[in-house]
Chains A and B, each alone.
Chain A
Amino acid sequence: MIKKTSDVASSEITPKSTYVNRRKFITGAAATVGAALAGGFYLRNHFDESTTVHAGGAKLSGVVKSPFSTSETQTSYQDITNYNNYYEFSTDKYEPNGLSKNFRTRPWTVAIDGMVKKPKKLDIDTILKLAPLEERIYRMRCVEGWSMVIPWVGFPLSALIKQAAPLAKAKYVAFQTVLAPDQMPNQRSRDVLEWPYVEGLRMDEAMHPLTILAVGLYDEVLPNVDGAPLRLVVPWKYGFKGIKAIVKVSFTDTMPPTTWNRMAPDEYGFYSNVNPHKDHPRWSQAMERRIGEFRKRPTLMFNGYDQVASLYSGMDLQKNY
């Protein structure tokens, strides 16, 4: 059968003006979506721009590899520099990057004093040449329950200690962060922590080959947000032991005060070794979230650096946390 030419009443035929309008509408809608996407991409790029690191960044030359490095997947530069505790700038982990961009790392001297044969003031550029720079890819476990894998550039702390020639009676090393309330907004308030930030290590911990002073990250000069120009890295301890922007290293025969221990002695001990069996009084330390991963992973004793266990043999690590 031949179909009737048309069952459609002429009144049902869409008038041209309407379908043209519809086309216009679709074009308009597409344009709007396009504009929104473009705007989104612009914002995203802009976002990236505003969160890139402003200091540091200069390439470090002659960096040698180290057998102490881990081969685990490294946390991105973006995440390392934009998710970080630096209470001198902010208690928010996302803010220190922006707030520290104008922090001045030159001129910079580090005072070495206390029980040493040769007390001295070292310029940062002298310190940079004390020892060959090494890449140390370390796990970093924060006391808050998250972790990263960070390719530091630095040299063993022992190289600096040897320069000072500590006396035999020196049993501890104390570190101090710069006090610069004009540059570090939170240092203007005592509500956050007691300033300046202080940390300490036992001499054998300080001399351990894993303990380094970091001056770089990802083969570049250390960005301000990560403690430029000089910070401590002790990979088997919780991250807060890694004191940033160091201006003083002192040698003593008594256990030096440490900032978090003073703040809450029942929560943060002097040693603060990573220990999945010793919970923080307010949360468990058994698991951690590696930044970039979805599921939590078990935390390892001494953050997986078993070679330091002998430093604590015979010690009750439940008491000496």
Chain B
Amino acid sequence: MRALPEKYLRPLKLLAFVVCLGPAFVLTWKGFHNLLGANPIDVITRSTGRWTLTFLLITLSITPLRRITRLAWLIRFRRMLGLFAFFYGSLHLMTYVWLDKFFDVHDMLHDIAKRRFITAGMTAWVLMLPLALTSTAGWIRRLGGKRWQKLHRLIYFSAAAGVVHFIWLVKADLRRPLTYGAVLVVLLAFRIFLWIKARLSSRPTAVRQAIHT
């Protein structure tokens, strides 16, 4: 059956939670064992950045996966995955604020205004913030499903800003950031495809005929 019995959901969610914490755990473990190499702060920054983008893309792949596999219960994992994107994004931001800038607000504001890759990265994080805050059932109720859904489409822009952030910061060799970009394009293209399909099928026959004449 496509449906997942409720009794499996909790342990599966717990398992997913532990797996999602894996990268943070590995980083911490390596940090305590001096295994982060010559420039640990650089490793932490890059790793948390890559995991943020990865979790954003995984979150965005839930809807296409659900449509293709018809496994409706996949949606039950989406909030957790999205919140993990926010978690790694916040760790990434903290490495910048703390380990790179040492809380120098003036310097950071200067950076955000002047350096376009920082601007893009900040945008990506700020766009995630309202999504994380309104991720609770209470907020879905308060906003109403439709409006909540509209608001949460911000994730498309957050992910796009994240990819642009990555593209703009590399010195040469765009292959890695463009791989993330390609996956994002596929995931967004799927939504455009769904949207066009829905519009075409919802159009009354009369209108469709009118167009064709």
Contacts and interface: CB of A to CB of B under 8 A. Distances in A.
A associates with B: yes
Contact of B117 (A83, A93, A146, A282): A282
Contacts of B33: 40, 44
B9 to A, nearest CB: 32
A283 B115 contact: yes
Interface in A72-89: 75, 78-79, 82-83, 87
Contacts of A284: 107, 111, 115
B171 interface: yes
B38 A192 contact: no
B58 interface: no
B101 to A, nearest CB: 9
Contact of A87 (B42, B172, B174): B172
Given A282-B117, A284-B111, A193 B172 contact: yes
Given A282-B116, A282-B117, A291-B38, A263 B172 contact: yes
Contacts of A91: 171-173
Contact of A146 (B42, B168, B172, B174): B42
Nearest to A279: B114
Given A191-B175, A192-B173, A282 B168 contact: yes
B35 A83 contact: no
A291 B174 CA distance: 26
Interface string A184-222: 000000011100000000000000000000000000000
Given A91-B173, A192-B172, A295-B102, A82 B37 contact: yes
A83 B172 contact: no
A94 B117 CA distance: 24
Interface residues on B, range: 20 to 34
Contacts of B42: 146
A282 B35 contact: no
Contacts of B80: none
Contact of A191 (B117, B168, B173): B173
A289 B115 contact: no
B169 interface: yes
B209 interface: no
B173 A83 contact: no
A149 to B, nearest CB: 13
B175 A79 contact: no
Nearest to A259: B172
B41 interface: yes
A47 interface: yes
Interface in B28-43: 33, 35, 37-39, 41-42
Interface in B70-118: 100, 102, 107, 111, 114-117
Interface in A203-256: none
Contacts of A144: 171
Interface in B149-190: 168-169, 171-175
Given A40-B33, A282-B116, A282-B117, A82 B38 contact: yes
Nearest to B42: A146
A47 B35 contact: yes
Interface string B185-205: 000000000000000000000
A264 B100 CA distance: 25
A87 B107 CA distance: 31
Contacts of A44: 33, 35
Nearest to A40: B33
Nearest to A291: B38
Contacts of A82: 37-38
A212 B175 CA distance: 35
B172 A289 contact: no
B41 A289 contact: yes
A218 B119 CA distance: 42
A85 to B, nearest CB: 9
Interface string A46-85: 0100000000000000000000000000010011001100
Interface of B: 33, 35, 37-39, 41-42, 100, 102, 107, 111, 114-117, 168-169, 171-175
Pairs of residues from A and B, 4 with the lowest C-beta to C-beta distance, nearest first: A83-B38, A79-B38, A91-B173, A192-B173
